[in-house]
A and B are shown apart, each in its own frame.
Chain A
Amino acid sequence: MSSTIDQIIDEHSRYLVRIAYLYVKNWSTAEDIVQEVFVTYFQKSDQFRNEASLKTYLTKMTANRAKDYLRSWKHKKDVLFDTIFASTRGAEEVVLEQERLASLEKNLFQLPLKYREPLLLFYYDEQSIAEIANYLQLNENTVKTRLRRAKQQLKEFFEEEDGEVESH
């Protein structure tokens, strides 16, 4: 049993913690979310139906929990706290990160979730437009529009990938 657990965690934790981070912009929270996802899965794995791959199932659970967190009062309180102390923290982070990646991070998390979510599902989780539209309960054209607007906001990081949204 323990070896099965280790195997599943080793296989998916790297990917899931990154997905969670791309939602919540906080490594500690991302860890908590992924931990909860695994614990829930192992406690109720008998309820897991093999309709989708385990990776898809765990990714959806992670995304749902990340969005729950973003709606929570705890997150709103943290955002307020970050806003108040933005000047000191921001300066430290810029020094620590490589400049260009720091800029990507800054621009990425400035995107509202409704643009950031399709972007990370499309480019990072590599879902199709139809899959994203189905998961977010949106029209495919709406997903495409949001992706295009998200790309416009981050166009300096997409120089080599023009036209990918339409062709994916």
Chain B
Amino acid sequence: MSDFKRKLDQMMGDTSKQERRIKQRVHERLQKPARKFSWQVLFVSAAIPLVALFLILTIDPTNYLSSDKGPGIPYDPLDDLAQISALQKKQQLSAVDYEEFATLPHFEEVDGLYYVDKETFSLQGSSEAMHTVIERKVNLFDEVVYEAGDIVRTMTNTTSHLPTYMDVYYKVIAVPGDRVVLKNGKLEINGKPLPSDIMDRYEKQGITIVGGTTSY
């Protein structure tokens, strides 16, 4: 043994305690019993992928769009953008067939834009046009004074691209704060579908409309 090795041994001193601990711990580690077989672990392990598969197959992500939640839930335009871009990739967005539009009743052309006009309406039990008219307030952002189902007459000279008629009546289908979704030709207000004669016609003809937009 070299002198330097002897010095190193002296420097490290007595290591019998360390050696005893090592021996003891090695025995403890080697004598640990094998893990018991657990039916619970097997069951849970097998169930997790099945539950995941079930959820993937049954959950329709479109049911969770913010646009279906109604007032109070922030609208997230990304929901729609993602769907629109997916439809664009698949080339499933609708192309307007203006000739088909022109053959429909109540077809209107205003400022170069094409519209299928609103449905005629009357109160139940009466053939006359008996309308509830509530005027819009001066300030556009005042509290809404009408509600869905009311019949209103436009009084403001709007710059909207929507057609404006003097003394024409509209039925309110949604008020500011409601989520209006036009998807595949079906109009939904706060997630509830709105009956539509036009869509009924299309369904009878086997015509499907793909795409849509969301507003509030």
Contact = CB atoms under 8 A, between A and B. Distances in A.
Given A17-B15, A101-B11, A5 B30 contact: yes
Contacts of B16: 14
B3 A35 contact: no
Contact of B7 (A6, A13, A27, A157): A157
B33 to A, nearest CB: 15
B22 A13 contact: yes
Which of B2, B10, B15, B22 has the most A CB atoms < 10 Å from its CB?
Answer: B22
Given A17-B15, A157-B7, A42 B22 contact: no
B5 A42 contact: no
Given A6-B23, A30-B18, A161-B3, A123 B8 contact: yes
Interface in A4-39: 5-6, 9-10, 13-14, 17-18, 21-22, 27, 30-31, 34-35, 38-39
Given A14-B15, A35-B25, A39-B30, A161 B4 contact: yes
B18 A123 contact: no
B207 interface: no
Prevailing SS type, chain B contact patch:
helix
Contacts of B35: none
B23 A9 contact: yes
B21 interface: yes
Given A22-B8, A124-B8, A31 B3 contact: no
B23 A13 contact: yes
Given A18-B12, A35-B29, A42-B30, A104 B22 contact: no
Interface string A111-145: 00000000010011010000000000000000000
A5 B27 contact: yes
A101 B10 contact: yes
Contacts of B22: 9, 13, 17, 31, 34-35, 38
Given A5-B30, A17-B18, A21-B12, A101 B25 contact: no
Interface string A56-73: 000000000000000000
A82 interface: no
Contacts of A34: 22
Interface string A152-168: 00000110110010000
A93 interface: no
B17 to A, nearest CB: 9
A39 B29 contact: yes
A157 B7 CA distance: 8
B5 A124 contact: yes
A17 B11 contact: no
A6 B147 CA distance: 88
Interface of B: 2-5, 7-12, 15-16, 18-19, 21-23, 25-27, 29-30
Shortest 7 CB-CB contacts between residues of A and residues of B: A101-B11, A13-B19, A38-B26, A123-B4, A39-B29, A9-B23, A35-B25
Given A21-B12, A104-B8, A123-B4, 5 more contacts: A9-B22, A9-B26, A18-B9, A31-B25, A160-B3
